[in-house]
Amino acid sequence: MALEEKREKRPAVTPMMIEEEAALRNGSRGLPPGPWAEAAGPRPRTTERHIAVHKRLVLGFAVSILALLAVTMIAVLLSVRFEECGTAADGPPRAGGNGSISGAARQPPGAGQPPGRPEEEEARGGEAAEEEEEEDEEEEWQRRRELPPWARPRLPRHLRPLHYNLMLSAFMENFTFSGEVNVQLEVRNASRYIVLHAHRMHIEAVRVAEDKLAGGVRVARTFFYPQTQVFVVVLNRSLEVERSYNLKIIYNALIENELLGFFRSSYVLHGERRFLGVTQFSPTHARKAFPCFDEPIYKATFKISIRHQATYLSLSNMPVETSVFEEDGWVTDHFSQTPLMSTYYLAWAVCNFTYRETVTKSGVVVRLYARPDAIRRGSGDYALNITRRLIEFYEDYFKVPYSLPKLDLLAVPKHPYAAMENWGLSVFVEQRILLDPSISSILYLLDVTMVIVHELCHQWFGDLVTPVWWEDVWLKEGFAHYFEFVGTDYLYPGWNMEKQRFLTDVLHEVMLLDGLASSHPVSQEVQQASDIDRVFDWIAYKKGAALIRMLANFMGHSVFQMGLQDYLTIHKYGNAARNDLWNTLSKALKRVGKPVNIQEVMDQWTLQMGYPVITILGNETTDNIIVISQERFVYDSDTKPKDPARGDNSYLWQIPLTIAVGNTSHISSEAIIWVSNKSEHHRIPALEETSWLLGNINQTGYFRVNYDIRNWRLLINQLTRNHEVISVSNRAGLIDDAFNLARAGYLPQNIPLEIMRYLSEEKDFLPWHAASRALYPLDKLLDRTENYNIFNEYILRQVASMYLKLGWPTNNLNKSLVQASYQHEELRREVIMLACSFGNKHCHQQAATLISDWISSNRNRIPLNVRDIVYCTGVSLMDEDVWEFIWMKFHSTTAISEKKILLEALTCSDDRNLLNRLLNLSLNSEVVLDQDAIDVIIHVARNPHGRDLAWKFFREKWKILNARYGEALFMNSKLVSGVTEFLNTEGELRELKNFIKSYEGGAAVSFSRAVETVEANVRWQRLYKEELFQWLRKSLTQ
């Protein structure tokens, strides 16, 4: 996409921008100064009493009259021609005439003209006058020291859309579409400007009329303002307050070959390439598909009609009401009217998919649409069945019925995200919804399950109740992410997702990110569209979910649930901000006799970045007294704070610290202490000399806990002697806290490695998973050092006994995918992964044997749950022929889950030539799907043999990558982070900083975070690497 040229003139900005209507007081409601105003001004009148009765004067007067008539006719003709002038999104603003309609816009060369819409020639006359008028108008706003309404970061508030009637024609043979949108507008404040969003489209005509009266409101001119992606209609007179008007816009645009707006995708069936069109509007891309008020607060109803060839079908948020078939092989589907909703989760699709359906107890029709071959194989059946059950679960949990008559799940080959929660038409990328039970692992099933649970939660949190503005996007994403675990627990009660897996997959992961000085609050100010992308990150999703979980635990789950029910009931079909949630939850607590001000507590967690580390110290002089202190946790204390006026010492939280006392055989029940000061003294009963303290029971709080060395030693001793006295969740929490406290310099480097020693007796999956995740970044810091083998040997010793105990799984192709022994199978998988990753000889031999058997027999007998481990290990150990074999299988398989792990396995090679080849192939969309290319680059960067190759490739291809992914949420930040997070030398840090100085494009926040991460890596190498190796050498010789 070519960047649109920015205007050189920028009007001055005052601290408070006043609506333009107030500035147009004292009767100045006409056209701004310029040729149009002069043409519309009053003309002097000539009467007979001013003419002498003389023949020559009469004759002269007659000639004058004739000349005046001639001039008037010419002016009228010119005016008509001006009305035919169009407006092009990619060009400078054009006048649209002074009538009620502005005429057709010229298509750019090669844009493709939709059938039935002949190209009209643009009038050239009057361009200089129009540009002069625009300049005069901007100068007028400048004199007022105000931004004009179209240059402001948010839409002006003088109009509100009530209803959209949108009629589309999709031309799939040349990937264009035409549209006509009629918007019913309510006027809140008088204005002669209509400002709404529109981007990358060609406006053909504009009409404004009063709803109840036939007369039109004359359009003076129209223009695009690319800087804010708005389209401006300037009227000859102001719209009147408390009246409603109809805005009609006829336009056309491309069905883009990208990932946002109304875009196209394709797939191959029986050797034939088939195309489909689908939308992705969140957060700010509805404006690419139709002119609209593209902000969440502007909820309206929508009536959609889609005209398409009869070989296709169309889908939208609501069911089809009627279909009108035409003789020429076209059909128009008219969809039922939607409830009040925001533009970003409006959706439609034009495809030739087939479907299967089911119905919930309350009568909601659920359909899954996908490629015909996927439907025929039953790949969508699992998703369809759990969707029905989950709708029933949410209806019961929230006590608010699902609001639409149907829900369609659409599986598409290409999509920028895992899924999008469009109300009534949720769109998923195929690998996050299609599942073949015969070749899908438990991990893949879990991934598909949780994506569906997440998107269905959005039908309530996001669609039914929508955040007022993007600063509170965590209100929908945090809840959806939290309910991924609650909803999965409903489907699989024995998996303990919310109490256990949430810790490693959400809490521990987001604390890595939020421990950087370059982090940001979960609620952060969003001024304009360019700021919106940065709020859609793991802070909003995962930290939002972690704070919600903490809130649910200290409120009590039943009271929390009651508060959510009230919140959804009060705000359904509307918008809500975080204070609306806090007020509702406070009232719920008050009803059960707990008058807690939730806003006062939670504002500290949502409006401050980062999180605290609680330090618990025993008092050697006074029995049963402990000192509890809090400070902000940061990985690199040398990093300058993001806000220089506020150092880390000024951060303070109200912390619900749960605490328990234990000994070799028993742990007390937990007590809660609210910590609100920098340092506090508290009396703990029954605290004996041999007793240990444990804080943040089951890790329900969003903070880390540190202890004095004596208490750490007591906890390590307890884990070694009888680890089951401490809960599974707390064993995982101790491992994660210890590794990260050591990495940040709060603890000696040996403490986390000493804790690991007990794992040989650990039979639960969660602590092993926590250890594996905590070891991973440490491994990447060391994997290119000369003494890496010392670290490698230590880890293998900790893993060896459990690896021998558990062994390898048998081939379970004929068994049920969802096994009762989920925890056991996941534990076995975790241990095998660690063994193979760190070079266990038996593990390597087993992987090579399984790969060789597959190649020789052409039958894949590798157990499903470890296929990705075996593929990766085989590719890294064996010759180029194995790489080519995996490459061939990647192209030939039709199973979505298998395709994903085969592609990732190709990045495991030790051969740098093969890794370079794969990197270059990743940008070919015919070979690797757009959304998968990022994963290829990141996985090569994680490979120590390819880290520098991926980093070099990233820098050389940045312009291409940024052009492809720059507008897509997450994608650029994911790429920047994935390529740079394990760079750890002074030279790589210099390369990163030099690249940032020279690069062009966005992702400034991601690069700032990358610099801090690499600086922390370099600092750790300098300060702690030798300390770690010295302890490892000593430990291995004992």
Give the active site residues: 455
Q: CA angle at residue 1001 from 279 to 527, to 5 degrees?
A: 70
**β-bridge partners, 671:** 659
* Three-class SS of 472-528: HCHHHHHHHHHHHHHHHHHHCHHHCHHHHHHHHHHHHHHHHHHCCCCCCCCCCCCCC
In sign, the C-alpha dihedral spanning 829, 442, 485, 454 is positive
Number of other residues whose CB lies within 10 A of the CB of residue 797: 14
199: left (phi over 0), alpha (psi -120 to 50) or beta: beta
Angle between helices 822-837 and 788-806 (to 10 degrees): 150
Q: Of 184, 154, 17, 18, which is closest to residue 468 (Cα–Cα)?
A: 154
Within 10 Å of residue 195's Cβ, how many Cβ atoms? 23
> Which phi and psi (to 5°) does residue 223 adopt?
-160, 155
Q: Is 305 left (phi over 0), alpha (psi -120 to 50) or beta?
A: beta
- Cα within 13 Å of Cα(596), Cβ side: 18
Adjacent-strand bridge partners of 245: 185, 210
Round to whole Å and give the CA distance between 424 and 635: 43
> What residues contact 227, with CB distance under 8 A and at least 6 apart?
4, 6, 7, 151
Other Cβ atoms less than 10 A from the Cβ of 327: the count is: 5
Which one-letter amino acid corresponds to residue 975? L
Contacts of 714 (CB under 8 A, 6+ apart): 690, 691, 692
**How many CB atoms lie under 10 A from the CB of residue 813?**
12
CA atoms within 13 A on the CB side of 823: 16
Pairing between β-strand 625-632 and β-strand 612-618 as defined by DSSP bridges:
antiparallel
Inter-axis angle of helices 912-921 and 930-942, nearest 10: 160
What strands lie across the sheet with 365-370, from one edge to the other? 354-359, 365-370, 406-412, 425-429, 419-420
CA 904 to CA 1012: how far, in whole Å? Answer: 28
- Two tokens, residue 194: 């209509």
| Through-space distance between the first and last CA atoms of the chain, rounded to whole angstroms | 63
Size of the chain, expressed as the number of residues it contains: 1038
Q: DSSP of 402-465, one letter per residue?
A: -SSSEEEEEEES--SSSEE--TTEEEEEGGGT---GGG--HHHHHHHHHHHHHHHHHTTBTTTE
Q: Can you tell me whether residue 273 is helix, strand or coil?
A: strand
- Using DSSP's 3-state secondary structure scheme, residue 859 falls into coil
- What span, in angstroms and rounded, lies between the C-alpha atoms of 473 and 576? 11
3 state SS of 202:
strand
For residue 608, the Cα-to-chain-centroid distance in whole angstroms is: 21
Closest CA to 192 of 328, 98, 51, 305: 98
The CA distance from 692 to 713, in Å, is 9
